[in-house]
Chain A
Amino acid sequence: MAAGNRDSRSRYLLSFGLLLALFVLLFLWNLNSGTVQLTPGEIAKILFTEGGDRTARPIVWEIRLPRILAAAILGGALAVSGFLLQTFFANPIASPFVLGISSGAKLTVALAMIVLLERGLTISSAGMVLAAFAGSMISMGFVLLISGRVRQMSMLVVCGVMIGYICSAITDFLVTFAEDSDIVSLHNWSLGSFSGTSWEQVKLSAAIVFACLVLTLFMAKPMGAYRLGEVYAQNMGVNLHRFRAALILVSSVLSACVTAFAGPVSFVGIAVPHLAKRLFGTSSPLVLIPGCFLGGSVFCLFCDRIARTAFSPAELSISSVTAVFGAPVVILIMAGRRKQAA
């Protein structure tokens, strides 16, 4: 269902070109920012040769590069997860954060961390992802239960936000009673941040996210049909049960992966798909899935750079920055819909 005419195709190419250029630019900008100033030449030397400054080399390879990749991969994952949920609920402000799915994942990860830390064990990356997945599926279950009863999209969002608050409250409760030493890492993580990402985590998240992305691309066709509503989609040959289950599963895995590694990150899931639709001028999933992914990467790279450097040396949580840039977009969406309805 990728649209046909030449105008739209060149617009897609241009938009992808723009996003790629921004991606490269932000990638380099992020690589080059921090307390240790490096020239582009030095960075190139560190990246492509064995040489380079002795102290700068580990900073680039062990701190900056994994963090940048994490921001890019997980940002993309969030945007795609949001796009899937918006398709599922036919609701433009559905996203893992708004529907309380991120908070559910946060709760179970916190629980797993505390339980394991008390026994003197550390939690592995895969364990984090599993815990997060369990949490996001539980939240998702509640959201689905509610969505079966309420037809109004605003009510669904309100319920999602409430689920989010409940999960956050329980998480806070757990954190309060946890051992002091645990709290530091838990607290940082629960605010959301890409800092301290290891290569192992990058590899695992890349594997999960790219697998999901491929699956999502295979769902592009039914997603395209689903834009006309479930009655028409079913008539055109979409197996609704299978399609819905796949959509929920993939979006939960994606948001679980993000929450496990970066904590809850707000607004990316809503803002990016919306901006991507505007940029590409289409809602065709085959275009928007890669578009959202790339857009999410760009958005998170940008926000992470701000989070690191705006009040350096103090670091902001990633969610505060994404909220500053993402929330206005949500307001615009709501305002735009009002206008359309009137």
Chain B
Amino acid sequence: MCGIVGLLLKNRAWHEQLGELATPMLQCMSTRGADSCGLAVFHRPLPLEKRRFSLYVADRDYDWQSFHAGFSSGTGGDARLESRFNHATEVTATPEADVRGWLRRSHPDVHLLSVGRVIDIFKDEGRPEEIAERFGFRDLQGTHAVGHTRMATESAVSPAHAHPFSAGQDFCLVHNGSLSNPYSVRRRLERRGIAFETDNDTEAGCRFLEWRMREGDTLEQAIEKSFRVLDGFYTFLMATADKMVLVRDPFACKPAVVAETADYVAVSSEFRSLAHLPGIREADVYEPAPEQIYSWTLSSNLTSRN
């Protein structure tokens, strides 16, 4: 069992309250998974040439200032640091490949969680309430957020195995369920030179979808293909720079509920974690159907159910 939550704010005036609204959703779902927790938050986009690099390290007293000094001189860019305990974000125009190379050489202990113009990922092993508090989820601002509380069933409990998983740029996925063929999917992708960081089933799903998008598919087209490739139980909640997308496996083995108002779209494993949202009593509350793609886009300020 795991818990998944997502919140996309259609009302721009609410962007400052993203963390305030999404954090209770996530904390409420700690009853579905209390061994790890994570949140992806999507900010206002950086200038075209800049990227956010979300970083994780095990040590909660890590010296990010000296890391930053090394990062700035080592990557040759003009970087900006935001840090909180064992999480930091470096904002820089240095290309991703150069940052990855420098991290590998100079700081193999620092784990790169995500890269993009808008995405930041926070995750760790431990109680969701404590993790949300430590990383200050309530203060986060942005357009949308996707979170996960994990109760591991198929691979180890570790910070790297926590969700969200990210591949490519500005894309993440959280998963409630378990895939039954992650290794065959993984072998298929590894033959194409795609590298994996964990033995987690969700990472296989995440990298499959990202590979299809790199090959030119939209996320929706990639999901259509995944119906024929991924076997197992899943409710997947995904996000890109301007979208939140939800899909359940053909048997609908894992739960999901959606609440929509003029101001937001909220998704959770259970209605319980949506009950605090403003206007929830008047919201359109429904259960997504099996094997149907539900996609909500920010830019048009319209929601579409495919």
Q: Indicate, yes or no, whether A interacts with B.
A: no
Using CB atoms and an 8 Å cutoff, list the residues of chain B in contact with chain A: none
